Structure 1
């Protein structure tokens, strides 16, 4: 399943959690994840996943012509 040692969330479920918590509150993400995957992931787990992940910052390159 691709679950790392000492981790209870699969990579796919982690991706779903990160995507949901990026667009809605943790509390709403809990509900959406359960509807979409049938799995319950607490709001604290959602927060921990987000804090542990290194997000790439968008670049601010502006083209001047």
Structure 2
């Protein structure tokens, strides 16, 4: 029966587990309470830039304007 030659560190284990979870679990989507757009949970809204009632990311101006 094969055994691991060296112990795998906690950070290495967590990185491996994060890659697996990122592939298998879809991101949780919510509606933004500020603008009503659909956005990923625990991220700033892509549409308005708000997160938890505060503006985090400024909206980019388009090149045509």
Q: TM-score range by the shorter chain?
A: under 0.3
TM-score using structure 2 length: 0.25
TM-score by length of 1: 0.25
Structure (1 or 2) with the greater helix fraction:
1
Larger Rg: 2
Report 1 or 2 for greater relative contact order, CA contacts < 8 Å, sequence distance ≥ 6. Answer: 1
